Structure 1
Amino acid sequence: MTLHPQPQAGQAKPWAFPAPERTSLPNGLTVLHCDRPGQQVVAVEVNVVAPLAAEPESLDGVATIMARALSEGTDRHDAEEFAAELERCGATLDAGADHPGIRVSLEVPASRFTHALGLLADALRAPAFPEGEIERLVRNRLDEIPHELANPGRRAAMALSKELFPADSRLSRPRQGTAETVERIDTAAVRDFYRAHVRPATTTAVIVGDLSGIDLPQALAGTLGAWTGSLAEPRPKAPVTADDTGRVVIVDRPGAVQTQLLIGRIGPDRHDRVWPAQMLGTYCLGGTLTSRLDRVLREEKGYTYGVRAFGQVIDSSADGKGAAMLAISGSVDTASTGPALEDLWKVLRTLAAEGLTDAERDVAVQNLVGVAPLRYETAAAVAGTLADQVEQELPDDHQAQLYLRMAQTGTVEATAAVVAAFPADRLVTVLVGDASQIEEPVRALGIGEVKVVSG
């Protein structure tokens, strides 16, 4: 029998995160574009500096309603016509609001790019904000809120934010508003927020895809370049502050058969030199099925299907006023809540005492750096990361430099970073579950003062 020879791996090609080109339009709008030959679906990410902290008092959620309303008609098309025009282009348009500002995302085949970009420009330049559509969006948002409160993961996130951040900080309140604030939002409030914050001078557009057949300067001139608006002074940022005194908050869900865990504090953001080591160390702690937390809580003890540790930027700025949420999340059955938390704290203390191993560090580098080319195969993935960099006031080469720094980070450095990120005595723990079953076992652990709140 003659067998076909086994295929052999070829020589690995050098790879680096794509470098964008940066330009500015006469109206003040900033453009980052990145030509990706072969990527026939072009991705556009638009960042507008309209932070949630700028929402008027008692109108939390108005930024979300405004973002959703951008595609509900313009000065050229009503809502149905606008949707039909997008469909003819084969395009998708999404918009949302988060703490840094408004994000509008467009994906479209390269052959229809210019027309779709014109629709996007119309949505930003002259949204109609019809009263009936605003009322519908408000009703939809009010319908979403009970579902979010019923979701243990979302409920835990809300409780952690409320517990960590000062009551007067926008970070302490739900990003998309509460039922009390959303029901106050009307068309006038949406238009006022738009007029106050949405303008080309505070906007950046990121464009990624195969641009070889596109006259980009001409396409921009007739679309986003035709948008006019006043200049604006940068909005001052307050430093992010939080109270990470070790304590436990139980959100009572009588009869719950599982307990949702969310354990967190704030730490350095992506501007800090420790970020690459912190990413590596956090990945070793709880970034994958082979991490320390999963090895103990899932494989050895069978408490959970999985526990994850992560760092997520919540607000970032080059002046050092930003921060990231450092957290551990997962769920366990109710009876295992106390033992699972006890073992989780043992993992943290053992990590502080013994450190990471070289093997753990090597696996983390391979999984975070080695697979990066696969992560960024699509134009949308590249555009999203570049837009994140814009939001967080990072240099254009940040992601490329991040991979280089992670590859150069040693085991000792990664250990020090993750131990500093998750000190066993400075963590706020939120548990969404049956307080009658879990309160006493949790108190016995001595990981901080315990209080119970209504679910």
Structure 2
Amino acid sequence: MSRTTLLRLLAAAPLAAATACTPPAPPAEPAPVPAPAEPAPARPALEIVAEPPTLGAPRPYTLPPIEEFRLENGLRVVVVRQASVPLVTGRLILEAGAEHEPAERNGLAVLTANLLPEGTAALPGPELAERMERLGAQFQTGAGQNSTFAVVAALKPAFAEALGLAAQAVTAPAFPARDFERVKQQAITAHVQSQSTVEGLAAEAFARAVFAAQAPYARLPGGTAATLGQVTRDDVVRWHRTMYVPAAATLLLVGDVTADEARQIARQAFGSWRGAAPRLVRKPNPSRPAQRTRVILVDRPGSVQSHIRVGQAAPGAEDPDVIRLTALTQVLGGAFNARINQNLRERHGWTYGAWANFNPARGAGTLFIHSSVRTNATDSALVESVREYRRIVEEPVPAEELTGATGNLVGSFPASVQTVQGLAQRMQNLLVWGLPMDYYATYREQLAAVAPGDVTRVGGARLTPGAATIVVAGDLAQIEAPIRALNLGDVEVWSPAGERVR
């Protein structure tokens, strides 16, 4: 017998002996009969609230102090101090948006911006990324219609070094040939993938249909496979040399930073940057004149969904009606409980979501309803989308509905600028659009003051539901005939490249 087995038997023996010698337990006393329990008090009936609670007063909000100055090289620096957390974000905003690029090189501005993180001759991209990571910093670049931007965010002790690294990438990029080809191919692939979706097809066709052919806004900033294919490395180098200059740039610093600290940080990062300001002429973005509604169809064979857009060109960000159009859009489709989503999703179940967007850019914008719907419900969803677009113009908006819609924006505004990043994005918009830097000091009050009559007036003056632009991308074998039968307007069939097929 092993020692382990013996130990186990000895350990169990006392328990076995105790069990064998224990006398049987006496019979248990009968349990007393419990007294009848008191009846539980009846729960109060649930109170059904017929009306939602009234909105309370909005949380107070004060715009942080804003200071600005220029460096000796012409770089404008704007400082917005928000010292609630020891974090700083810097945004270098350049007048190098897609609106300035040649039409045949559409995508050049975005491609150049996307190449910046690939590094400099002395600081290759992988080393740049590693050093940013060691600092705990975030670095990203991008471009749109009106501007190019580079964003750095870091804790205050690491911010100056992180901004210095970003400044090297922005002001002296190497644009290695191999990286250029790789990033360019990624951009082409992204466009091809976009064209494989009904949403991508509709977005591109809508821009082309709303704006005149020569308008920069008729082209999406990312470019197409055809235009990107024509962009060379020399184009990128020339674009950077011409457009990336301090006199046409603004450095926005937001967070735990004083004006004196900002001046020192900006000089350290960008003080040696040089370059003459380009002579830029902003091209107008006229909309296509329309006397009646246009219906543009784009084929995606075999698609189980169709994407619908109903809308038109709209005023730019600097227009005095922007606040009122924002309120109108919020009622139409700015939230889950807005009109178009309640109609297409909640009432009819044709879509996972339907929305309305007002996208003001510099000088012009767009306003439209959009939704992806089941293919067999395309014509029905289109009828309801057009109906809602007409109704927002032709019928007065009830005061309660307007108050609920704008109250959502008014109440959520402080949260949207509570973080350093959120506030910086708002301030960047003002700089790009050329609006006063104290614009958001009265934004909530202006929005809350919009009355039903204001919505009626601005809808009648700015929107033309009888001459709207409708774009539908989907399986034309199934949706074209039903849409034509609706007689909504002149029907055109376009190729994905924007050429009229019939």
Fold shared, TM-score > 0.5 on shorter chain = yes
Instruction: Work out whether residues 164 and 269 of structure 2, in 8 Å CA contact, stay in contact via their aligned partners in 1.
Output: yes
Cα deviation, residue 422, structure 1: 3.9
From 113, 125, 138, the equivalent of 2:159 is 113
User: Conserved in 2, the CA contact under 8 Å of 1:355 and 1:415?
Assistant: yes
SS at match of 1:123: helix
For the pair 1:306 / 2:353, whether they are aligned, the reply is yes
For 2:345, the aligned partner's letter is: R
Tell me if 1:95 matches 2:141: yes
Q: Which residue number in structure 1 is paired with residue 96 of structure 2?
A: 50
Does the aligned pair in 1 maintain the 2:304–2:375 contact within 8 Å?
A: yes
**Could you tell me which residue of structure 2 aligns to residue 452 of structure 1?**
493
What is the number of equivalent residue pairs in this alignment? 439
- Note if 1:153 corresponds to 2:199: yes
One-letter identity of the residue aligned with 2:473: V
CA distance in 2, matches of 1:411, 1:332: 31
Residue 439 of structure 2 corresponds to which residue in structure 1?
Answer: 398
Match of 2:288 in 1: 243
Structure 1 residue 101 displacement after superposition:
2.0
Distance 2:144 2:254 in 1: 22
Tell me, yes or no, if the aligned pair for 1:118 and 1:223 is still in contact at 8 Å.
yes
Is 1:85 equivalent to 2:131 in the alignment? yes
User: Partner letter of residue 366 of structure 1?
Assistant: G
Deviation at 1:347, TM superposition (A): 2.5
Task: Classify 1:269/1:169 alpha carbon distance in 2 versus 1 (closer, same or farther; 3 Å).
Answer: closer
Using the aligned pairs only, state the percent identity.
30
* Bigger CA radius of gyration: 2
TM normalised by structure 1 equals 0.91
Looking at structure 2, the residues matched to 336 and 194 of structure 1 have their Cα atoms a distance apart, in angstroms, of 48
Task: Give runs of aligned pairs for residues 194-273 of structure 1, distance below 5 A.
Answer: 194-211=240-257, 215-233=261-279, 235-243=280-288, 245=290, 246-273=293-320
CA RMSD in angstroms comes to 2.0
SS in 1 for 2:467: coil
Does the 8 Å contact 2:306/2:475 carry over to 1? yes
Alignment of 1:11-410 (within 5 A): 14-211=60-257, 215-233=261-279, 235-243=280-288, 245=290, 246-314=293-361, 316=362, 322-410=363-451
Query: After superposition, what is the alpha-carbon deviation per residue over 1:233-254, rounded to whole angstroms, capped at 9, x for unaligned?
Result: 4x12222211152111111122
Given that residues 348 and 422 in structure 1 are in contact (C-alpha distance below 8 angstroms), is that contact kept between their aligned partners in structure 2? no
Post-superposition Cα deviations, 1:123-176, rounded to whole Å, max 9, x if no partner, equal 222111122211221122222221111122121110111222222333222322
Please say if residues 348 and 423 of structure 1, whose CA atoms lie closer than 8 Å, have aligned partners that are also in contact. no
For 2:248 and 2:374, the matched residues in 1 are separated by 48
Offset at 1:114?
Answer: 0.6
Per the alignment, do residues 57 and 454 of structure 1 end up closer, same or farther by CA in structure 2, a change over 3 Å counting?
A: closer
CA contact (8 A) 1:435 1:452 kept: no
* 1:412 Cα deviation after fit: 1.0
Distance 1:56 1:362 in 2: 45
Q: Note the C-alpha offset of 1:213.
A: 11
The Cα shift of 1:389 comes to 0.8
Deviations 1:69-124 (A, max 9, x none): 11211243122221111111111211112111211111111110110110121122
1:19 deviates by 4.4
What are structure 1's unaligned runs of at least 5 residues? 1-9, 317-321
Q: Counterpart of 2:491 in structure 1: which amino acid? A: V
* Distance in 2 separating the partners of 1:18 and 1:239: 34
Question: Which secondary structure state, in structure 2, belongs to the residue aligned with residue 229 of structure 1?
Answer: coil
Task: Give the residue type in structure 2 aligned to 1:283.
Answer: Q
SS of 2:271 mapped into structure 1: helix
Residues 412 and 12 of structure 1: is their aligned pair in 2 closer, same or farther, counting only changes over 3 Å? closer
Structure 1 contact 37–212 (Cα < 8 Å) conserved: no
Shift of 1:279: 0.6
> Normalized against structure 2, the TM-score is what?
0.83
Higher relative contact order (CA 8 A, sep 6+): 1
- Kindly indicate whether the alpha-carbon contact (under 8 Å) linking 2:58 and 2:411 is maintained by their aligned counterparts in 1: no
The corresponding residue for 2:50 is: none
Distance 1:11 1:247 in 2: 44
